[in-house]
């Protein structure tokens, strides 16, 4: 029997186990290498940050992963409900979530059709993570959706070698609560281990009725052989959220920042507004991963993952004064009046399956390390809509609640292979090369949820597209001395259109793929007490898909390929160990984000408010929407004798809501401070007891982190047809000062 020390949940624990220390360390190392082929290392000439397990735990009081990453460079997070729970979003360098690659254990997480990640389907997933590596720019070759601005490479937590049990509880403002239970068997018979987690999160939300009811689980079991680790894990989430998607109208922003128009049914006899109780989103998603790591020798190892994801759900909404024809319904007579429009309740369903395999073969000897990897995945998604109720309906006798009014299928095959190599030319210089070939076939057929007025039917979908992408990357890393290092790289990425890009395209032309050439140049200095880093980047886009205001033949807003656009900036990071118990870390991003030769399209209505055409205006070079030129973060943290505290400050500069560059259609800059205080101690019978308080938005800043806008003209005067431009807004205000109390018990 030998006594060994291992790292677990940020604590140094001792345990007696029935095998040698070298075996224990080897076992832990085998767990750690499972995702190394898609990750950047300290000598990879790419720009990245790593958020550790302890970092995630300190911040985790129920908010989604975008908010737990909001202090990392060039990241902006937003929340529909205003408090970081429920529907949340993330942008990296101004790039939206549909262009951010997300993987867990190297397995793709992005939805195959929308390319996005819906974090509401993965509540409290951070409680089961070992760490997250955030690569900015194209980054290294990975599996799944294209990284067109960044990637999030998540690694689920290692199986614990010693038995444990944990209870995490939080409660705070807006009736927000989180309860997490975790337990692990420790190593059994020197070969087996099992972990499990159950979580529930509930909140009323800052915005009216923006409630969330979330539950999730994570279970894993592992076998540890002499040279092999096999893990079977499953995680999933179930959510019900009340819609807060519509935003707050501009005229309500000052008087009622929590106003939510979603579900409005009209006023009652006393003039009070009525809202539909079941204006909700309902979805369940379950993931299964079978992971294998085998070490053939000290220099050669194989990683393999088989995966399957099942998703199923719908959202339901009350729609007022809708044209019956748009839902395939006939007009009807009610009280001697012919009804062409009516209130109704509809559901939009999605039932999808996603599965495949990813692998890497990693070889390292002397000065050379090589990884060959890739994967193949298949997706099938059924989209269909149902009408469950129609007000006073007396039309089609065949109508029954649950009548389908559209149905379509999306199928996608996505396969890639890559070869990466890092060669140490000298002790100071490392050369990096990375080439990837990616093949995509996407098909969608059936009918969409949009009425085609030209052809008097639901819009027909008929897409069958193939893509062949070659994505090379190269760079050099230079270790100037023990404290100074620098790197330079260039990387190419391609991205196929999303389902909505096709669905909302012009009938006579499909959108084409986007291309990005990403240049990175970085420098870092590390000292025992302080560190500094600087990274300059230039992201050159061709055919980037952006909203221009242009609509297709059936009146739906479409994204158009813009020939030229770019993002360029500099990211600065710094850290100082001021005293043994006081530390400061900060980062700053200064950038310019431009669409070249931009033309804006605005709808034009006649005197009866019937749509007639669009007005095109050439604006030249304009800023890209939701891309602030300045983002800054600062964290002062204290750790002393069981006490921990932090003051976190974030500044986000002005963001334009559309691509016109008009200040009237922009979000003001905001400066938000959060404070955290905690104390950890031990009691008899337990390993640790921790209590803490988190105060978000300490100074009660009133700000909006997201918005939408719709502009249009009316032509009542033929001599001055563009006299009045009307603008409708939907803003997403974030909560003022709010508190969360939390407690952690570890056994």
DSSP line for 432-458: EEEEEEEEEEEEEEEEEEEEETTTTEE
State yes or no: pLDDT of 3 exceeds 80.
no
| For range 99-105, the mean pLDDT | 94
Are 747 and 163 spatial neighbours (Cβ–Cβ below 8 Å)? no
pLDDT of residue 485: 96
Query: How far is the C-alpha of 76 from the C-alpha of 70, rounded, in Å?
Result: 6
Which of the 8 DSSP states describes residue 624?
P
pLDDT above 90 covers a percentage of the chain that reads: 75
Contacts of residue 72, Cβ cutoff 8 Å, sequence gap at least 6: 49, 51, 134, 587, 633
pLDDT of residue 12: 24
User: 79: burial class by Cβ within 10 Å (0-12, 13-18, 19+)?
Assistant: buried
pLDDT of residue 14: 27
Of 130-139, 170-179, 191-200, 321-330, where does mean pLDDT reach its minimum?
Answer: 321-330
Query: How far is the C-alpha of 316 from the C-alpha of 347, rounded, in Å?
Result: 4
User: 395: burial class by Cβ within 10 Å (0-12, 13-18, 19+)?
Assistant: middle
State yes or no: pLDDT of 366 exceeds 70.
yes
Of 80-84, 165-169, 392-396, 659-663, where does mean pLDDT reach its minimum?
Answer: 392-396
What phi, psi does 366 have (nearest 5°)? 50, -115
pLDDT of residue 40: 83
Q: Return the number of other C-beta atoms located less than 10 Å from residue 638's C-beta.
A: 16
Q: Calculate Rg over the CA atoms of the chain.
A: 27
Name the average pLDDT for the chain.
90
Which of the 8 DSSP states describes residue 248?
B
Phi-psi region of 459 (alpha: psi -120 to 50; beta: other; left: phi over 0): beta
For the ranges 399-413, 556-570, 626-640, the one whose mean pLDDT is highest: 626-640
pLDDT of residue 337: 85
pLDDT of residue 498: 92
Q: Which residues of 293-327 are buried (b: 16+ CB within 10 A; e: fewer)?
A: bebeeeeebebbbbbebebebbbbbbeeebebebb
Write the pLDDT tens digit of every residue in 463-497. Answer: 999 999 999 999 999 999 999 999 999 999 999 99
Write the pLDDT tens digit of every residue in 534-549. Answer: 999 999 999 988 876 6
pLDDT of residue 180: 97
Counting Cα atoms < 13 Å in the Cβ hemisphere of 528 gives 2
pLDDT of residue 394: 72
Write the pLDDT tens digit of every residue in 209-227. Answer: 999 999 999 999 999 998 9
Query: How far is the C-alpha of 341 from the C-alpha of 404, rounded, in Å?
Result: 18
User: What pLDDT band is residue 504 in, cutting at 50, 70 and 90?
Assistant: confident
pLDDT of residue 663: 94
Of 4-18, 23-37, 232-246, where does mean pLDDT reach its minimum?
Answer: 4-18
| For range 623-647, the mean pLDDT | 96
Write the pLDDT tens digit of every residue in 564-621. Answer: 999 999 999 999 999 999 999 999 999 999 999 999 988 888 888 888 888 888 999 9
User: What pLDDT band is residue 508 in, cutting at 50, 70 and 90?
Assistant: low
State yes or no: pLDDT of 376 exceeds 70.
yes
Alpha carbon 384 to chain centroid distance? 25
Phi-psi region of 48 (alpha: psi -120 to 50; beta: other; left: phi over 0): beta
State yes or no: pLDDT of 396 exceeds 80.
no
State yes or no: pLDDT of 134 exceeds 50.
yes
Indicate the helix (H) or strand (E) that contains 26.
helix 21-32
**Domains along the sequence of the chain with CATH:** 2-746 (2.40.170.20)
Here the contacts of 430-433 (C-beta below 8 Å, separation 24 or greater) are 430/43, 430/45, 430/476, 430/477, 430/478, 430/479, 431/474, 431/475, 431/476, 432/44, 432/45, 432/473, 432/474, 432/475, 432/476, 432/477, 432/489, 433/472, 433/473, 433/474
- Say whether 111 sits in a helix, a strand or coil: coil
State yes or no: pLDDT of 499 exceeds 80.
yes
State yes or no: pLDDT of 709 exceeds 50.
yes
pLDDT above 70 covers a percentage of the chain that reads: 91
pTM summary value: 0.92
State yes or no: pLDDT of 525 exceeds 80.
yes
Query: How far is the C-alpha of 549 from the C-alpha of 600, rounded, in Å?
Result: 6
User: 707: burial class by Cβ within 10 Å (0-12, 13-18, 19+)?
Assistant: buried
Helix, strand, coil fractions of the chain, as percent rounded to 5: 10, 65, 30
pLDDT of residue 550: 55
User: 172: burial class by Cβ within 10 Å (0-12, 13-18, 19+)?
Assistant: buried
Token couple for 330: 């006939």
Give the closest residue to 236 by CA, choosing from 257, 210, 217, 214. 217
Here the contacts of 700-703 (C-beta below 8 Å, separation 24 or greater) are 700/736, 700/737, 701/670, 701/671, 701/672, 701/673, 701/736, 702/257, 702/733, 702/736, 703/667, 703/668, 703/670, 703/672, 703/733, 703/734
User: 277: burial class by Cβ within 10 Å (0-12, 13-18, 19+)?
Assistant: exposed
pLDDT of residue 505: 72
Of 122-131, 144-153, 380-389, where does mean pLDDT reach its minimum?
Answer: 144-153
State yes or no: pLDDT of 1 exceeds 80.
no
Indicate the helix (H) or strand (E) that contains 656.
strand 655-656
């Amino acid at each position: 029997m030998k006594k060994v020390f291992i790292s677990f949940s940020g604590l140094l624990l001792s345990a007696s186990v029935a095998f040698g220390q070298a075996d224990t360390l080897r076992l832990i190392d085998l767990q750690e290498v499972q995702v190394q082929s898609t990750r950047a290392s300290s000598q990879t000439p790419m720009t990245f940050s790593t958020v550790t397990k302890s970092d995630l735990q300190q911040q985790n009081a129920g908010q989604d992963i975008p908010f737990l990453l909001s202090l990392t460079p060039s990241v902006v997070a937003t929340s529909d409900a205003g408090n970081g729970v429920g529907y949340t979003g993330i942008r990296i360098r101004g790039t939206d979530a549909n262009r951010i690659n997300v993987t867990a254990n190297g397995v793709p997480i992005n939805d195959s059709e929308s390319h996005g990640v819906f974090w509401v389907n993965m509540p409290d997933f951070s409680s089961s993570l070992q760490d997250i590596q955030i690569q900015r720019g194209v980054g290294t070759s990975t599996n799944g959706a294209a990284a067109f601005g960044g990637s999030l490479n998540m690694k689920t937590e290692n199986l614990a070698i010693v038995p444990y049990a944990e209870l995490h509880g939080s409660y705070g403002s807006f009736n927000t609560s989180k309860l997490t239970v975790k337990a692990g068997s420790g190593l059994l018979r020197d070969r087996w281990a099992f972990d499990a987690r159950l979580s529930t999160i509930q909140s009323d939300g800052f915005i009216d009725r923006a409630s969330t009811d979330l539950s999730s689980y994570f279970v894993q079991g592992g076998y540890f052989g002499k040279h092999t680790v096999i893990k079977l894990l499953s995680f999933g989430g179930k959510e019900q959220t009340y819609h807060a998607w519509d935003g707050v109208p501009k005229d309500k922003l000052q008087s009622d920042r929590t106003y939510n128009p979603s579900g409005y049914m009209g006023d009652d006899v006393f003039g009070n507004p009525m809202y539909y109780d079941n204006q909700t989103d309902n979805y369940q998603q379950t993931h299964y991963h079978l992971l294998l790591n085998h070490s053939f020798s000290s220099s050669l190892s194989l990683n393999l993952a088989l995966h399957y994801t099942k998703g199923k759900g719908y959202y339901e909404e009350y729609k007022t004064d809708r044209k019956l024809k748009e839902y395939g319904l006939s007009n009807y007579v009610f009280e001697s009046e012919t009804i062409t429009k009516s209130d109704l309740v509809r559901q939009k369903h999605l039932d999808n399956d996603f599965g495949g395999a990813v692998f890497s073969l990693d070889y390292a000897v002397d000065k050379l390390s090589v990884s060959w990897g890739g994967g193949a995945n298949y997706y099938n998604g059924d989209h269909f809509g149902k009408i469950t109720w129609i007000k006073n309906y007396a039309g089609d006798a065949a109508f029954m609640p649950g009548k389908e009014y559209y149905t379509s299928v999306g199928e996608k095959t996505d396969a890639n292979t890559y070869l990466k190599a890092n060669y140490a030319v000298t002790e100071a210089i490392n050369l990096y090369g990375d080439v990837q070939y990616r093949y995509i076939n996407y098909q969608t057929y059936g009918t969409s949820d949009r009425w085609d007025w030209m052809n008097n039917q639901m819009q027909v979908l008929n897409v069958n597209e193939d893509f062949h992408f070659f994505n090379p990357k190269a760079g050099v890393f230079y270790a100037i001395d023990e404290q100074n290092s620098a790197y330079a790289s260039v990387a190419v990425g391609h991205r196929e259109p999303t389902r909505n890009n096709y669905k909302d395209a012009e009938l006579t032309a499909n959108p084409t793929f986007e291309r990005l050439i990403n240049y990175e140049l970085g420098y870092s200095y590390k000292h025992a007490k302080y560190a500094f880093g600087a990274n300059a980047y230039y992201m050159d886009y061709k055919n980037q898909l952006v909203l221009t205001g242009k609509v297709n033949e059936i009146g739906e807003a479409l994204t158009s390929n813009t020939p030229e656009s770019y993002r360029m900036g500099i990211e600065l990071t710094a850290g100082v160990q001021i005293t043994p118990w006081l530390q400061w870390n900060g980062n700053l991003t200064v950038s310019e984000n431009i669409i070249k030769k931009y033309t804006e399209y605005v709808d034009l209505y006649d005197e009866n408010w019937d749509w007639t055409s669009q007005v095109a205006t050439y604006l030249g070079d304009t800023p890209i929407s939701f891309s602030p030129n300045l983002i800054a973060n600062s964290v002062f943290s204290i750790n002393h004798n069981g006490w921990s505290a932090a003051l976190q400050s974030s500044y986000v500069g002005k963001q334009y809501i559309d691509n016109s560059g008009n200040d009237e259609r922009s979000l003001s800059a905001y400066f938000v401070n959060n404070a955290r205080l905690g104390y950890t101690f031990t009691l008899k019978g337990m390993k640790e007891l921790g209590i803490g308080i988190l105060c978000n938005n300490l100074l009660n800043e009133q700000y909006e982190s997201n918005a939408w806008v719709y502009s249009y003209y009316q032509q009542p005067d033929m001599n001055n047809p563009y006299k009045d431009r009307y603008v409708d807004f939907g803003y997403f205000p974030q909560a003022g000062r709010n508190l969360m109390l939390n407690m952690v018990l570890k056994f």
